[in-house]
């Protein structure tokens, strides 16, 4: 099962890197979300397989129990129950990922409004190139020095 998860992580992270390296900012935004999925799945997989070990498995139950204590969880041992801690971490991550998504989408709108383009190279080049020309003209002269 973990191997399947590893494949999912590979697919999500790989595609997200492909998108992040692209020229379109919208693709970059999608890449960020996909990267979040990949990271969450990776943490999930690290908690181990949800399949019950063969000696504990019954005909009715082949999976470990959800981390909710109750009548059907006789003892809070992780042999029979999935690890709750990665779930807690991922829950936090999902919510923060959502906040980042909202922020990022807003940034897209703002960027588009102020520059009229969402092509990464163009966005990157224009402002930086102007500052660089400025630096070249007088690299070390302190500002405010009368000439």
Partner 1 sequence: MSMALAGFLQLAVVAPPAGGLLLAIIAPVLAGLATLLLPRAAVTARVVLAGAGPALAFVLVLWHLGAHGVAGHTPPPESHHASITHVADTSGTDDLASQVIESSLSHASDAGRLAAPPQGTAVIEWVPDLDLNLAFLADGLGGFFALLVAGIGVLIVLYARGYFGGATEQARADLFRFYPTLGFFASAMLGVVLADYTLLTLVFWELTSISSFLLIGWNRYDKAALKLAKQAFFTTGLGGMFLLGGIGLLGYHTGHWRWSELLQHANDLDWSGGTLKAAFLLMFVGAASKSAQWPLHYWLPGAMAAPTPVSAYLHSATMVKAGVFLVGRMLPLFVLPGEGVGVDIWPGLITWIGAITMLYGGVTAVNQHDLKRIFAYTTVSQLGLLMAMYGLAGFDFDHAGHVVAAAIDLDITQIANHAFYKAPLFITAGAIGHYLSRSLPDLHGAFYKFPAICATMLLAGYALAAGPGTVSFQAKELFLYAIYHAANGRPWLWVILAMTIATAACNVAIFVRLLTTLLGLPGSMGKADHDSAHDDDHGHGEDGHDHHHAPEPGLGGALIWLPAVPLVALQYIGGLAPGVWDRLFGRFERFGYYFDHGVPSLLYAITHPGVPLYASGVAIVLGVVLGLSKLLRGQHIDPHDAIYPGVEAASVGLGRGLFAVLQNGSLRVYLTVVLIALMTCLSAAAWHDPGMIAPIGAEAARAFELPLGVIVGLLIVITALLLPVFSSRIVRVLMLGSCGFTVVAMYVVYQAPDLALTQLMVEIIGVLLFVLVLRLLPEPPQGERALPVGKLWRAGLGLVVGLAFGWITLVCAHAQPEALLGEWFSQYSYHGPAMIDAAGEKTGYERGGGGKNVVNVILVDFRGFDTLGEISVLGLAALGVWSMLPGRRRELCGEPPAQANASSSDPSTAEATLS
138 binds partner 1 (CB under 8 A): no
**Nearest residue to 97 via CA among 23, 17, 40:** 40
Among 7, 74, 115, 134, binds partner 1 (CB under 8 A): 7
77 binds partner 1 (CB under 8 A): yes
Longest dimension (CA), the chain: 89
32 binds partner 1 (CB under 8 A): no
Footprint of partner 1 on 50-69 (CB under 8 A): 50-51, 62-69
Among 56, 74, 115, 124, binds partner 1 (CB under 8 A): 124
DSSP state of 1: -
**Nearest residue to 108 via CA among 119, 93, 94:** 119
48 binds partner 1 (CB under 8 A): yes
Q: Taking the CB of residue 55, how many other CB atoms lie within 10 A of it? A: 6
């Amino acid at each position: 099962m973990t191997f399947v998860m590893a494949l999912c992580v590979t697919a999500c992270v790989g595609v997200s890197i492909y998108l992040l390296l692209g020229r379109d900012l919208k693709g970059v935004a999608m890449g960020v979300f996909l990267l979040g999925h990949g990271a969450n799945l990776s943490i999930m997989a690290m908690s181990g397989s949800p399949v019950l070990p063969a000696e504990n498995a019954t005909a009715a139950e082949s999976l470990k129990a959800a981390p909710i204590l109750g009548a059907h969880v006789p003892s809070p041992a992780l042999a029979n129950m999935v690890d709750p801690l990665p779930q807690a971490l991922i829950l936090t991550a999902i919510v923060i990922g959502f906040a980042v998504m909202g922020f990022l989408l807003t940034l897209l709108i703002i960027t588009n409004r102020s520059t009229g383009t969402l092509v990464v190279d163009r966005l990157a080049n224009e402002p930086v190139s102007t500052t660089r020309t400025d630096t070249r003209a007088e690299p070390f002269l302190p500002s405010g020095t009368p000439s």
